[in-house]
Structure 1
Amino acid sequence: MPVNRRDFLTLAAGAGMAAGLLAGSRLVRAATPAPIGAVALDGFTTFDPRPLVARAERLFPGQGQALALAWRTRQFEYTWLRTLMGRYTGFWQITEEALGYAAAQLRLPLSGAQRDELMQGYRELRAWPDAAAALQRLRAAGVRLAFLSNFSVEMLDTAVHGSGLDGLFEPHLSTDRVQAFKPDPRAYQMGVDAFALPRERIAFAAFGGWDAAGAKSFGYPTYWVNRLGVPLEQLGISADASGPGLDGLVAFVLGAPRAQAPA
């Protein structure tokens, strides 16, 4: 049966409306974030590094703050440089080498005993005051937890046990597994592989702003635990949300609005 022009336009309009409704429903579904099933955490979100500064100040009065800053800066510069050069070594060795450089840079005479005492600080890291309660809330809600960290497994085991956090975490995702430090994508991929979840269902909790940028660039819904109140890194990408502690992470994971992960 022939269709006149007016009937054709009516049919076309109806088809277009139906297509629009279907497309709209797809958009609604796409805009609804998938529930978070797991959280990968950087170590310092949970373990407090501030006693390292106090220890440095005790050994080098008046210079401890400068030594701790130079040490930490060089520590992470060495992780990035070694990854770029393809010369991976464990984080403990990097930490010791960075300490030696920082002391030399500041012209501080670092004895073997002083070096050992400063390094011992990494074996005595303990949890931030809010950590245990926040992590237990996540586990009680059925959220899986694991550290995704530059730390070695031994360093993480020592900190977890010393902080009384045993039983909360799945096996540690140390960068030793992939021989590449964060923010290399190979490091972040460990979370996807270990949890067997798509990246948009794995939240990443970062301590450093650079780590937050790296995790977000990889595709994780990212929460920046900005405990030290430092400025946002100027890298053209930022975390979905941030706050000074792990209580904000709990709200982010368990239902606070967050940005849709990139396709």
Structure 2
Amino acid sequence: MPITTCIFDAYGTLLDVSAAARAAAAEPGRERLADCWPEIAKNWRSKQLGYTWLRTIMDDHADFWTVTGDALDWALAAEGIDDPDLRARLMELYRELEAFPEVAPMLRRLKAAGLNTAILSNGTPDMLEAATVSAGIRGDLDDILSVEMVGIYKPSRAVYDMVGRRFACAPGEVLFVSSNGWDAAAASAYGFTVAWANRASEPVEALPGKPHHVLSDLETIPALAGA
């Protein structure tokens, strides 16, 4: 079945989640972050994902902006940092994350080939709209699908169901792209053709569903989609 629709995770896949902490550390007066920003970025992301899963299990949903703030609070506390101004700045920067260098030209190639393109993300619509506009890639996306439309986080099947409803396509027509191994596994088990952007060179997750393609970046996505 030919690919008609390319669906992307946002954070860590199209957008560099380390960019906020890295950018803050480079600002004047933030010298304290010079040595610890990588650890803040790592813990921020880890807790952000962990809190989505825990809230799902607890049946206590909060949107991704709230979860992102809670995760940042933990990451800053782990470094002994109590600085409301820095927290506010980091949250602001999270709405302006940089896209990875290959993302914009890759999306343009998909659109030139007539393929559907969209984001499917845990992020809120407002977060995703702001970040994609800031990164200069919003115009190459047909839509942004947020879990807030169904009120539950990935990897619930209800999230992946949104793709077929939006684009009237079968799972076999979808090339799903994520940098998260767990997301790649779940999307594959759902029935999507999956490309795992394994930027960190991690092992394949020991979960149901395996990625069909394992990549170091997104440069070859158009070729995999038949563009």
CA deviations 1:216-246 (Å, max 9, x no partner) are 1111110111223233222243200011122
Structure 1 residue 46 corresponds to structure 2 residue 46: no
| Identical amino acids, percent of aligned pairs | 34
Unaligned ranges ≥5, structure 1: 1-33, 256-263
Normalised TM-score (structure 2): 0.91
CA contact (8 A) 2:44 2:74 kept: yes
What are the superposed Cα offsets for residues 95-142 of structure 1, whole Å, 9 maximum, x if unpaired?
0001112223x2512211111111122111122111111111111111
Shift of 1:170: 2.0
Q: Give the one of 52, 59, 68 matched to 1:79.
A: 52
Which runs of structure 2 are paired with 1:122-201 in the superposition (5 Å)? 122-201=94-173
> Which has the bigger relative contact order, CA under 8 A and spacing at least 6?
2
**Which structure is higher in helix share?**
1
Given that residues 137 and 250 in structure 1 are in contact (C-alpha distance below 8 angstroms), is that contact kept between their aligned partners in structure 2? yes
SS in 1 for 2:48: helix
Partner of 2:201: 229
Render the CA deviation track for 1:28-51: whole Å, top value 9, x for unaligned.
Answer: xxxxxx001101110032112232
Q: Does 1:94 align with 2:61?
A: no
TM-score where L is the length of structure 1: 0.79
SS in 2 for 1:197: coil
Question: Do the aligned residues in 1 keep the contact of 2:118 with 2:144 (CA within 8 Å)?
Answer: yes
Q: Which runs of 5+ in 2 are unaligned?
A: none
User: Over aligned residue pairs, what C-alpha RMSD do you find?
Assistant: 1.7
- The match for 2:187 is 215
SS of aligned partner of 2:139 = coil
Tell me if structure 2 keeps the 8 A contact 1:225–1:249: no
Supply the AA of the counterpart residue of 1:172: I
Between the aligned partners of 1:116 and 1:37, the Cα distance in structure 2 is: 40
Assess if the C-alpha contact under 8 Å between 1:130 and 1:246 holds in 2. yes
Q: Amino acid of the residue matched to residue 72 of structure 1?
A: R
Confirm whether residue 36 of structure 1 aligns to residue 30 of structure 2.
Answer: no
Please identify the structure whose Cα radius of gyration is greater: 1
State the one-letter code of the partner of 1:49: V
Structure 2 distance, partners of 1:37, 1:116, is: 40
